Amino acid sequence: MNNKKLTTIITTVALTLSIATAALAADVTLLNVSYDPTRELYADFNNAFAKYWQKKTGDKVTVKQSHGGSSKQARGVIDGLEADVVTLALAYDIDAITEKGLIKPGWQKELPHNSSPYTSTIVFLVRKGNPKKIKNWDDLIKPGVSVITPNPKTSGGARWNYLAAWAFAQHQPGGNDAKAKEFVTKLLKNVPLLDSGARGSTNTFVQRGLGDVLLAWENEAFLAINELGPDKFDIVTPPESILAEPPVTVVDKVADRRGTRKVAEAYLNYLYTDEGQNIAAKHYYRPINTKIPTRLAKIKKLYTIDQAFGGWQKAQKTHFADGGTFDQIYAPKK
């Protein structure tokens, strides 16, 4: 066999192989249905993941995003919005999708840390210089302090706010459920209006200039400051707050039907890698990997839903279902 022939054969084989692998490299799209404040986080993370995935498998993956109120988004998935993965504000909303059989029960055990790759908490956004001297939750019930928070019936963030206040009162010396209810009643008396979502409340506080303090997701508070003026607002991180664990999961029915399970799982797992954790930290979420540096203030005590309220199912039923504590104590201002 002469050399020339050999080269031809090798070139042909190499060409065929490269064409074959090129044909195998596929274009995949994923849809991530998420809640309101994660827009910037996932815009960033999706790019990072696409790069990683192309390097690893050669496939080009495009992740599409949809954002809205957490419960509304869950409702959309239930009604057929084809999400390969959901990344929502609270486990209860994912449970609602599970009830319709789209996600397998026990989803929260699939990924580490209750399937929450990052956590967040509730902080206070106040006017520059903190003129009303708001330091902790008990400052919110003082007369003359106007508090902005969204409606817990429609907003996931508002439910965290409500439960954070409740947990605070519960854990004070001599605190119990009755005391907590009294505390939250007083707090709601200081709320002039309830918007339907977290971004709505932020706009009310920031754009319309209503209220002395906004109860907000930690990352929302930072975003508002960065986007709208560090010279106008301050963030107050209370010494105690609630540990918000926004969970993520694959929507089994959709991923299996579309054949995207592998990339969907890789996408969520990538949130737990150093790069994923760094991106979360960059957008003011608290990474669960404690080695990742974060700019966020330490909070002395963080109460969890499981420990303070016995889980989301129970918390939802006691506090936010029709006739729950919120309905009992909230009287709209006439």
Partner 1 sequence: MSAPLTTAVRQKNHAPTEPQVVRWLLIGIALIFLTLFLALPLAAVFSQAFEKGFSVYLAALREPDTMSSIKLTLITAAVCVPLNLFFGVTAAWAIAKFSFPGKNLLITLIDLPFSVSPVISGLIYVLIFGLQGWIGPWLQAHDIRIVFAVPGIILATIFVTFPFVARELIPLMEAQGKEEEEAALVLGATGLQTFFRVTLPNVKWGIIYGVILCNARAMGEFGAVSVVSGHIRGMTNTVPLHVEILYNEYNYTAAFAVASLLAFLALITLMVKSIAEWKVRQQLNNT
Q: Are strands 60-68 and 147-148 parallel, antiparallel or unpaired?
A: unpaired
CB of 224 to partner 1, least distance (A): 8
Q: Which is nearer to partner 1, 66 or 269 (CB)?
A: 66
Ramachandran quadrant class, 62 (left: phi over 0; alpha: psi -120 to 50; beta: rest): beta
Q: Which of 275, 279, 258 is nearest to 61 (CA)?
A: 258
Contacts with partner 1, residue ranges (CB under 8 A)? 31, 36, 39-40, 64-68, 76, 78-82, 100, 199, 203, 223-224, 227-228, 257
- What are the strands, taking DSSP E only, across 140-185? 147-148
Tokens found for residue 270: 């990538």
Q: In what order do the strands lie in the sheet with 213-217?
A: 147-148, 213-217, 122-127, 233-236
CB of 138 to partner 1, least distance (A): 31
Q: Which is nearer to partner 1, 34 or 249 (CB)?
A: 34
CB of 96 to partner 1, least distance (A): 12
Q: Which is nearer to partner 1, 57 or 65 (CB)?
A: 65
CB of 84 to partner 1, least distance (A): 12
d(CA 19, CA 32): 32
Tokens found for residue 125: 């956004």
CB of 86 to partner 1, least distance (A): 13
Q: Which is nearer to partner 1, 33 or 244 (CB)?
A: 33
**CA angle at 241 for the pair 238 and 245, rounded to the nearest 5°:** 135
Cβ atoms 230, 108 nearer than 8 A: no
CB of 14 to partner 1, least distance (A): 36
Q: Which is nearer to partner 1, 66 or 114 (CB)?
A: 66
Q: Which of 69, 41, 88, 82 is nearest to 312 (CA)?
A: 88
Q: Which is nearer to partner 1, 39 or 132 (CB)?
A: 39
Cβ atoms 104, 249 nearer than 8 A: no
CB of 272 to partner 1, least distance (A): 25
Q: What is the DSSP string of 205-227?
A: HHTS---SEEEEEHHHHHHHHHH
Q: Which is nearer to partner 1, 78 or 266 (CB)?
A: 78
